[in-house]
Structure 1
């Protein structure tokens, strides 16, 4: 019998606490910490981030759940109570991101903050949180791909605990959670490098995040066996990834070449240089 990872981390007063929840919360906390530090560098206030997350987090969770439920509606119509059961997963990243961006636009408008600057500040942390969050899917046996062999997984030089946990429903599976996690992690590093060493206009870091993530997600989504579908067998997240990739490139080009009035993304506005 394969030694698989237990998705339950521990029991707290009779309540099972899942690794999924711990990993997701840890990713959000790290994203908030990184965004707060960067906010101080660009002249925003620490409270701008903490106040935003108080609004955005619960609405993003609702958005992530609604996205998932709406595109897989039949089982929830049969048992509506399960709509509220998110302990076993069933949160769609795109739904959460869409909801969070809507909150961000409203929040920045109300507080007279440039939304493009705010998006640039939070994008690296969000991408890192996404890289971490996929490991929550790993613990829950979600976001996996089609059948493969143990030899294939061993040839990827994966640790045994990953290989063993990829044995799902009687077969070894493609670790698409890992592919997306690594893709997001590389994107996180690239954004940090560009932010530190490049000259970008406001909004370009965010649009870089959008195009990078959507490009990788398009191909990784095509490998998954648990995708949400539209009519005609179209994968929802693949279609959205394609639209976001094209839209992101168009906006990048327009804002860089056609609109010369956009401010630069400037850091270190009177902030302690010891901050990283």
Structure 2
């Protein structure tokens, strides 16, 4: 006999209280911005802590965090706007309204990687070592940041009547789903998945300190890439607001690429038993270091 989950108690029904955390006259703090700020603060603190355990100067991670914010947030917004250009072309004043939501984590990752590569070149240090120290903080920040979607009543999934359903106000529902009230809380699915990936990365990190297992530089970065992308691939399938390129969900395409790159990187390290080409070393070999 099949179990009808819709008959279970509604103990996990979610209803957003709204996007505003504090409003005093013209001064407004939104939940979305609050969670981004908390994610950055916790991420920087954690990265510095991990750096100390790897005998890396924690001030480097503090400096890097500024570069990452400068590179990631504008890139995340630009990525989102480009794939929603038909909407923003009609309302260009909303392009910079990042506090209203509308950033893409894949854009943030691209912007962050570019910023980190430039930072590593300037400081003449290993990009991959930095990436391994940042990866646990990044996935934890993603888990925290997803709750901003909850308060904005966005990034939800298809209609459902499951006990953990999410109530979406009429003004936030797609026109074709206006008669449905409850939807999959995909923000929660991804937040929980990201927390599990964080637990995996942080476990590998601390076990590696004792050499069991002995991790090669770049391992945590590739595990992050493959594991996060795997979760995003299936969760994106529930979404009703995916960024699209023709019939394709952009996030799923990028996630497939991420899985392939992550697994290929791990294969390079542990099957081919080859070290990653360090950015700085490569520059030196080409006579480009100054």
Q: Does 1:257 align with 2:271?
A: yes
- The answer for the alignment partner of 1:271 in structure 2 is none
Give me the whole-angstrom Cα distance separating, in 2, the residues matched to 1:245 and 1:166: 35
- The answer for the alignment partner of 2:218 in structure 1 is 203
Give me the whole-angstrom Cα distance separating, in 2, the residues matched to 1:165 and 1:24: 22
- The answer for the alignment partner of 1:56 in structure 2 is 68
Give me the whole-angstrom Cα distance separating, in 2, the residues matched to 1:65 and 1:47: 28
- The answer for the alignment partner of 1:191 in structure 2 is 201
TM-score (norm 1): 0.86
Give me the whole-angstrom Cα distance separating, in 2, the residues matched to 1:94 and 1:249: 18
- The answer for the alignment partner of 2:143 in structure 1 is 131
* 1:16 aligns with one of 28, 52, 56: 28
Alpha-carbon contact 2:35-2:144 (below 8 Å) kept: yes
- The answer for the alignment partner of 1:5 in structure 2 is 17
- The answer for the alignment partner of 2:236 in structure 1 is 221
Shift of 1:101: 0.7
- The answer for the alignment partner of 2:257 in structure 1 is 243
Give me the whole-angstrom Cα distance separating, in 2, the residues matched to 1:4 and 1:121: 34
Q: Does 183-192 or 39-48 show the bigger shift?
A: 39-48
Q: Does 166-175 or 62-71 show the bigger shift?
A: 166-175
4+ residue segments displaced more than 6 Å: none
Q: Does 1:146 align with 2:158?
A: yes
Please, which runs of 5 or more residues in structure 1 have no aligned partner?
A: 157-161, 264-276
- The answer for the alignment partner of 1:31 in structure 2 is 43
Give me the whole-angstrom Cα distance separating, in 1, the residues matched to 2:56 and 2:16: 45
Task: Go from structure 1 to structure 2 and tell me whether the alpha carbon gap of 1:3 and 1:82 turns closer, same or farther (over 3 Å shift).
Answer: closer
Alpha-carbon contact 2:76-2:103 (below 8 Å) kept: yes
- Aligned CA RMSD, in angstroms, stands at 1.9
Task: Go from structure 1 to structure 2 and tell me whether the alpha carbon gap of 1:186 and 1:166 turns closer, same or farther (over 3 Å shift).
Answer: farther
1:16 partner SS? strand
* 1:43 aligns with one of 55, 72, 84: 55
Deviations 1:129-157 (A, max 9, x none): 000010011111111000112xx1x2x4x
1:78 partner SS? coil
Alpha-carbon contact 1:166-1:175 (below 8 Å) kept: no
TM-score (norm 2): 0.82
Aligned residues between the structures: 252
